[in-house]
Amino acid sequence: MNGEPEVHEEFEARLKAFEGRPAAATGVGRDPVNEPMIRHWCEAMGDTNPAYTGPDAIAPPTMLQAWTMAGLTRRPERTAAYDELLRLLDESGYDAVVATDCEQEYPRPLRPGDEITFDSVIESVSGLKTTKLGAGHFVTTRTDIRAGGELAGTHRFRILKYSPAHRPKDPTPGPAKEPRPRPVINRDNAGFWEGVARHELLIQRCTGCGDLRFPWLPGCNSCGCPEWDTVEASGEGTVYSYVVMHHPPFPAFTASDHAADAAGPYAVGLIELAEGVRIVSNVVGVPYDKVRIGMPVRLEFRRYDDALVLPVFQGVTR
């Protein structure tokens, strides 16, 4: 990236010069508004709104931008100015793109048969911004979408053209995911982990006095008897207490294990099982700030990597 402030000022002045210039001119929708594309959209979104089917169907309003998309074809409507702006950003290292904002207004509904035309203007190009993804420039465009010449929608769209902060050096294997710490398995708790491998959460039961105990111990806290057998937990429980871990971030414990790069806060729950004993585990499927004492949870076995399956608790929000 351009390190010298004066150099960057000059670069930003070049970017600013694109403001107000057209981004797309006399664009024509590849397809008229049509029932199959509406149906495919509703299928993907799980949207069963009857307004989008039948003889009086309208297109889902939020589908507005889809009617302007080029798919895998060239965009003949894209202006030289917009191409030039994107090329300038690409060549300066801001070659990755992500959409950040979408603001739409729907003055009139679109219906099957409507022929779409649109034009677009570069509204603004921001100065250099530092984001979690990397440093870059926001580019905002505004598009007017017409049906039969009549304004049907306006669409303000903002993208971030950025230089990725976490660009992998070797692109093939992807960033190595930080693995979760391994459990320490010994003679006293091996039976518990054998149960987990079979997707059974086993509670120890003293054969002397019948008391249930967890975590696993060599002897009974109540009567001292060393003999025991096990009871399989039903899997029902409630949050007895919890803490939210904010700092320091541990990518291995991020709530979404598929987004290991982003180590956000996560909830650690003390779960009281229906059988009466308590276990420390993660509460999953509920945002960390929505976990509450008394919240019902259900046992689930989650695979974290090739060698690690853990019992976790799915929050039951309703």
Partner 1 sequence: MNAGDRLPSLEIPITRTLIVAGAIASRDYQDVHHDPDLARQKGSPDIFMNILTTNGLVGRYITDHFGPGAVLRRVAIRLGAPNHPGDTMVLTGTVEEVVEEADGGTATVRVVGTNGIGKHVTGTVTVTVPAGAGTAPAPGGPS
Q: Of 8-16, 96-104, 121-129, 273-281, which segment contacts partner 1 by CB under 8 A?
A: 96-104
Q: Which stretch of DSSP H or E encloses residue 150?
A: strand 150-162
Query: Least separation, in Å, of the C-beta of 262 and partner 1?
Result: 5
From 92, 120, 254, 281, residue interacting with partner 1 (rule: CB under 8 A): 254
Alpha carbon distance 253, 245 (integer Å): 9
186 part of the interface to partner 1, by CB under 8 A: no
From 264, 268, 270, 310, residue interacting with partner 1 (rule: CB under 8 A): 264
Structure letter (DSSP) for residue 183: P
Cα 75 to Cα 3, 70, 80, 123, 278, distances in angstroms: 34, 6, 11, 19, 60
74 part of the interface to partner 1, by CB under 8 A: no
259 part of the interface to partner 1, by CB under 8 A: yes
From 48, 55, 91, 149, residue interacting with partner 1 (rule: CB under 8 A): 48
244 part of the interface to partner 1, by CB under 8 A: no
* Residue among 285, 303, 305, 283 at smallest CA distance from 294: 283
Alpha carbon distance 216, 210 (integer Å): 15
248 part of the interface to partner 1, by CB under 8 A: no
Alpha carbon distance 156, 281 (integer Å): 44
Task: Considering only residues 12 through 31, tell me which ones interact with partner 1, judged by CB under 8 A.
Answer: 30
Nearer to partner 1, 27 or 60 (CB): 60
Q: What angle do CA 88, 92, 94 make, to 5 degrees?
A: 95
Nearer to partner 1, 32 or 109 (CB): 109
Q: Which amino acid is at 227?
A: E
Query: Least separation, in Å, of the C-beta of 132 and partner 1?
Result: 9
From 4, 5, 6, 166, residue interacting with partner 1 (rule: CB under 8 A): 166
Structure tokens at 302: 């989650």
Query: Least separation, in Å, of the C-beta of 256 and partner 1?
Result: 3
From 10, 84, 103, 227, residue interacting with partner 1 (rule: CB under 8 A): 103
Cα 18 to Cα 94, 106, 119, 147, distances in angstroms: 16, 27, 16, 28
